[in-house]
Chains A and B, each alone.
Chain A
Amino acid sequence: MTAPARLLLADDHALVRRGVRLILEQEPDLTVVAEAGDGAEAVEVARRTPLDLVVLDIAMPRMTGLQAAREIGRARTGSQPPKLLMLSMHDNEQYFFESLKVGACGYVLKSVADEDLVGACRAALRGEAFVYPGAMSALVRDYLGRLRRGERVPSTVLTEREDQVLKLIAEGSSSKEIARELTIAVKTVERHRANILAKLDMRDRTQLTRYAIRAGLIEP
């Protein structure tokens, strides 16, 4: 078995940090090797500790999670910089797009951290993007708008099911709601989601960022 991934956890609220840590440490492939109470400290720790993944709260004193992410991403020169994952209270896709822009590959809402955080960490470690649902619906709606206006879009062949899921995502339905609507398992919905992202060329951070800029969702 390979060594577990080394994580840095940054959140200004000590109890939140503890809760997140307990959840992550239940997983054998993840280990929290350091903690930080604000953005500046996170940058400092990341500089001297070898890490695979940094989980950053967005709202922190001294330096926000977004600023810290940018710093961490650019500080390392020699070795591979750690992957970055944002944790946030804000249910707003703009924070997700901004996170992509500063180099993070995922965004987890605190209110679903108990369900999604572990999966997001693993996706980040694999180099995939973890697309938060609100952002996915914004992206998909933009895609459908382009399609309707006859603009050039990545040519895709979605299966009929994927197409149904796509429409429901555009309407802002959650995976659970989609599962109920189509009477399929949540896991199946998640798989369709992943396939749709792959087919629309939105699999990783770079592709997603490019798409969001073109859609005018973030400034280049």
Chain B
Amino acid sequence: MRLYWKVVLINGVVLCLALLALVLGPMSVSRSTVASEVLVLAGGLAAILLTNALLLRSSLAPVDRVVRAMAYVDLTGPDGRLAAPPSGPGRSLVDGFNAMLDRLEEEQGTSNAKALAAQEAERHRIAQELHDEVGQHLTVVLLGLKQLEGQVPAAQAAEVAVLRESVRDGLDDVRRVARRLRPGVLEDLGLTSALAALTNDLGRHHPAEVRRVIAPGLPGLASDTELVVYRVAQEALTNAARHSRAKQVTLSLVRIGEGLVLEVADDGIGFDASTSGAGLRGMHERSRLVRGDLRITSRPGQGTTVRLAVPLAVGPS
């Protein structure tokens, strides 16, 4: 609204001045216009337009900047914010725009957090049911078949043995799926054990030497922060295994000041700073949920280091 009035005012003032100049000035326009008069009129018009343009320019410049920023803004950090002019309607426009970005980012953050939390809860429920229902029933069948095998004639016993192996495979599958869905160790035994399990898994399936440096006696974290640390470590280790061709991968978790620092470093092929992907984005997103600070440093041929620092005392947002 104020911008609108400012434009009206500028136009009004310029036109009034032109009118005054016309009334009070020495020039006149004859019924059949002569060339010299046209020249003066053209000059006057040009002067009006120029004054108007100059005055409007400074007022409307912020609008252009906001429009440009809207096209390119990236809601992932404070870099997208515009510098506000010192005063005037442009300032309130830019301030309003920046506030809107803040709000959007905030809302996106909460809805991401909600989505992630809902996803984790759902995984948790499914894994639990797999373990507690399907797994138990299969165990009953497995043990029952073993029992049966000793009681039937040899011909049938062989058949029962085949069934028993098949049930065992089913049980293994259930367990594997449940384990992928939910880091049961994290909940039951804590972060240290869960990270140790992750590095063991990697060591088992990958030729790289996996080293683990976990400081003893680390203070506990809020449970959602632990989950974030775990998921970031999981993604970083998976990436190292899948892409890095490293000879050595080191995971460390230490306390530095008022924070806990997770570091996953490999000596592999590294990657370009412009690389992006769902995994890398997911790490950033999760880290932001718990006010963590995530840095990924990598250069082609130089290996990769993923470093996540999370605050100790404060909980989630």
By a beta-carbon cutoff of 8 Å, the part of chain A in contact with chain B is: 13, 15-16, 18-20, 22-23, 26, 58-59, 64, 66, 89-95, 97-98, 110-114, 137-138, 141, 145, 148, 171-172, 216-220
**Which residues from B are CB-within-8-Å of A217?**
196, 200
- Given A13-B136, A59-B132; A216-B212 close (CB under 8 Å): yes
Whether the pair A16, B184 counts as a contact (CB closer than 8 A) is no
Is B147 interfacial (CB 8 A cutoff)? yes
Are A19 and B204 in contact, CB atoms less than 8 angstroms apart? no
Q: Is B140 an interface residue (CB 8 A)?
A: yes
Query: Do the beta carbons of B144 and A19 come within 8 Å of each other?
Result: yes
Instruction: Mark out the residues of chain B between 152 and 209 whose CB falls within 8 Å of any chain A CB in the assembled complex.
Output: 164, 168, 171-172, 175-176, 178-179, 184-185, 188-189, 192-194, 196-197, 200, 203-205, 209
Beyond A13-B140, A91-B175, A218-B196, 8 additional pairs, beta carbon < 8 A = A18-B140, A23-B143, A89-B135, A89-B175, A90-B184, A94-B185, A97-B193, A216-B214
Contact in complex: B204, A172 (CB < 8 Å): yes
Tell me if A's interface is mostly helix, strand, loop or mixed. Answer: helix
Q: Is the beta-carbon distance between A26 and B175 smaller than 8 angstroms? A: no
Find out whether the CB atom of B193 lies under 8 angstroms from the CB atom of A98.
yes
Q: Is B236 an interface residue (CB 8 A)?
A: no
| B200 engages A64 (CB within 8 Å) | no
Given contacts A90-B175, A217-B196, contact A110 B135 (CB under 8 A): yes
Residues A110 and B193 in contact, CB atoms below 8 Å apart? no
* B139, B175, B179, B205: the one within 8 Å of A16 (CB): B139
CB distance from A20 to the nearest CB of B (A): 6
Check B131 for interface membership: any CB of A closer than 8 A: yes
**Pick from B131, B147, B193: contact of A94, CB under 8 Å:** B193
Contact status A89-B131, CB under 8 Å: yes
The CA-CA distance from A92 to B140 in the complex, in Å, is 21
Contact between B143 and A219 (Cβ–Cβ < 8 Å)?
A: no
Indicate if the CB atoms of B142 and A114 lie closer than 8 Å.
yes
Q: Is the CB of A141 within 8 A of B140?
A: no
In the complex, A33→B135 CA distance in Å? 26
Assess the B197–A94 pair: CB atoms within 8 A: yes
Quick one: given A13-B136, A216-B212, are A171 and B204 in contact (CB under 8 Å)?
A: yes
A178 to B77 CA separation, bound complex (whole angstroms) = 53
> Nearest chain A CB to B213's CB is how many angstroms away?
8
- Distance in angstroms from B123 CB to nearest chain A CB is 16
- Minimum C-beta distance from A211 to chain B (A): 14
Distance in angstroms between the alpha carbons of A28 and B139 in the assembled complex: 23
The 14 sampled A-B contact pairs (Cβ below 8 Å) are A13-B136, A15-B136, A26-B150, A90-B179, A92-B179, A92-B185, A92-B197, A94-B200, A95-B185, A98-B193, A111-B175, A114-B142, A216-B213, A218-B193
**Shortest CB–CB separation between residue A102 and chain B, in angstroms?**
11
> Does B217 make an interface contact (CB < 8 A)?
yes
Q: Given A92-B179, A216-B196, A218-B193, check contact A15 B140 (CB 8 Å).
A: yes
Q: Which 5 A-B pairs have the closest CB atoms?
A: A19-B143, A114-B146, A111-B171, A94-B193, A15-B140
Would A98 and B216 count as touching, CB distance under 8 A?
A: no
